[in-house]
Structure 1
């Protein structure tokens, strides 16, 4: 049955890589020189459609679809990474008969007007594909304690397969958005909220699958999530079958526009997050947004670490191995979000921003390391800082989009090259992390096999050289971003 494909479809401590006071980073202009907060992926095994809410009580609250589709779970922690090991509690279970009795999918938790609300989708025991959006409410200070009251189906009730309800406030107005099956498509609808479980007027259709990447396996737009920044309302959504075809798209509206006018929304022609064989992540999707401890924007999503597609008996709805993952959102010079690629498992990467040219980043292009502004191919400028290949007390920098390739010096030029296992490569790719030569709160990288020589930029390229004056020290100092 066609509807079966609409399925819903850190274990390390938080690490700061330099000791500096962190500040909010939510816009592309004049980014603050802050220490980078990193995470370790995956955040949670067998947890799909993840939603994280940062509350004013100092806790992050995390819920997601469980593989059995039979309950709603919740955990909390004072850090995002802490959610990986936080105790998980069941706050609600499916009904034994009737509605809300099957396919408990895609829960989201929100705090609205002094109360907690959970939006989720569910089918019936007598028709498991009669999927509709439902709402729970709690007045508890700690939502893990409950109790929870069932507010029932989103009202007015939907008459067809619908799911993935979310809510947001813009310009003083609360909105409800969800996905709904119509004809051969799963579309995204938007309406004004009267209260957390009731909307007014006729819902507005704002997105329908039209591009080839939105129609692989099935014609799907679902899982809306909203991020409001830089004078615009950005709405991500997920598309195609929930196998390795699954990908994240982006809708954009001006902050001053009528969000209920379909003409206010434009759709990007290509996905903003998709499967990547190099990083070992397939089917990224159904995301939410939150803000990290340092104020930077973060995307939370799921993916699998293997490539499987519909066919040959494979049903992604029966595969519980979607994993919750987390990584930072960056911002392009034009104010649009840049999600890069689904990063490899392990510690998330960072970017190295020049101290004396703070709009420019280290990036590799044709494997030569350069210093450039406006790096829209984000992964070219992201490196994972790991234990040194030649000395575990030092560091090496691994490429994000070329795992197994490392920053190394060769003839005193900086390149990104594959680790060939030789002792020379390990030495060339290992650096002692020093306090910034021009700013001790930042970072400089000293060669382990050429002591006294540092990674520095000159004429837009990166070299390994000694530095003896203020200009040289500034060119060898970087902020982690």
Structure 2
């Protein structure tokens, strides 16, 4: 398999999944005003696949600004998109929302707004990702509480857009590298392997300091018990100036078609210096590379690869 990195320019917060023999891609668009998805039978094919806009922001009120980090999931035979959005008149009133496809073809069929994912502590929240484990479905997301820190929460789901249990905090930005620019744990992505549930996440400001951390719990542990989770004391994927890759993060996971090789999907810039607010710089590009596993059963993400052709 060969593709070019960056795979898709100017697409931040990328998510690639493999469903029914095809790859599906979605990400934040630079204008932060719509949700688009695309599909192909190969990773390389996603680069040239036609993106289909499935939803656009409202003109005012909820879901009218800052449409961020969509994720496309197939749950119990239905397609759902999880995303965050704020309000034109209150641009940091960010909340999590869910869309449900009314048919079987997410590129062509209509989408229904299922509404906001309500959390007991109403506040800045984003990056919702659902996952199944031992017959239960969970949601992990980032939420500010207290107002200056973005923590990772988890809860069981009653249905794809409704929490069943009280959310609990499983990670706070309490390490120095998570507190550069902003105090942030966000962008969780779940990986289950080798008797553990792993959650990769992103930390720090969205510039060259952005990087990935890692949480893990035993697969038989109570995932709703904060003490079940451990955190890597150091970043597991970070800027590599030697190959001009800066601020890698907000990742997702997929595999090669045969399922034998794990793939890390992430965004990064190819330059350090940013003029103005990093959020307004559109050049966080989608990248994909293979990763392996250490003898102790933990993922080894390596370092970001340079721009150009990439083969595995």
TM-score range, shorter chain: over 0.9
Q: In the TM superposition, what are the counterparts of 1:38-437 in structure 2 within 5 Å?
A: 38-56=2-20, 58-156=21-119, 159-183=122-146, 184-295=148-259, 296-308=261-273, 314-348=276-310
Work out the CA distance in 2 between the residues paired with 1:161 and 1:141.
Answer: 32
Shift of 1:93: 0.2
Aligned partner of residue 76 in structure 1, secondary structure: strand
Work out the CA distance in 2 between the residues paired with 1:87 and 1:294.
Answer: 25
Work out the CA distance in 2 between the residues paired with 1:158 and 1:62.
Answer: 31
Work out the CA distance in 1 between the residues paired with 2:180 and 2:270.
Answer: 19
Report the counterpart of residue 410 of structure 1 in structure 2.
none
Q: Which runs of 5 or more residues in structure 1 are unaligned?
A: 1-36, 351-481
Shift of 1:201: 2.1
- Aligned positions, number: 310
Segment of structure 1 superposing worse, 238-247 or 287-296: 287-296
Sort the Cα spacing of 1:270 and 1:118 in 2 relative to 1 into closer, same or farther, 3 A: same
Aligned partner of residue 99 in structure 1, secondary structure: coil
Shift of 1:53: 1.6
Shift of 1:333: 0.9
Work out the CA distance in 2 between the residues paired with 1:158 and 1:123.
Answer: 17
Shift of 1:126: 1.7
Shift of 1:157: 6.4
Deviations 1:278-331 (A, max 9, x none): 11100000001111113111110000000036xxx6210110110000001201
- More strand as a share of residues: 2
Shift of 1:38: 3.7
Shift of 1:156: 4.3
Aligned partner of residue 104 in structure 1, secondary structure: strand
Asked if the contact 2:157/2:165 (under 8 Å) is kept, the reply is no
Shift of 1:348: 2.5
Q: Which has the larger radius of gyration?
A: 1
TM-score when scaled to structure 1?
Answer: 0.63
Work out the CA distance in 2 between the residues paired with 1:254 and 1:139.
Answer: 37
Asked if the contact 2:155/2:224 (under 8 Å) is kept, the reply is yes
Work out the CA distance in 1 between the residues paired with 2:243 and 2:187.
Answer: 24
TM-score when scaled to structure 2?
Answer: 0.97
Asked if the contact 2:32/2:68 (under 8 Å) is kept, the reply is yes
Aligned partner of residue 82 in structure 1, secondary structure: helix
Higher relative contact order (CA 8 A, sep 6+): 2
Q: Which runs of 5 or more residues in structure 2 are unaligned?
A: none
Work out the CA distance in 1 between the residues paired with 2:253 and 2:121.
Answer: 26
Work out the CA distance in 2 between the residues paired with 1:207 and 1:349.
Answer: 35
Deviations 1:98-124 (A, max 9, x none): 100000000000011111000000001
Structure 1 stretches (4+) deviating beyond 4 angstroms?
none
Work out the CA distance in 1 between the residues paired with 2:138 and 2:251.
Answer: 18
Asked if the contact 1:186/1:219 (under 8 Å) is kept, the reply is yes
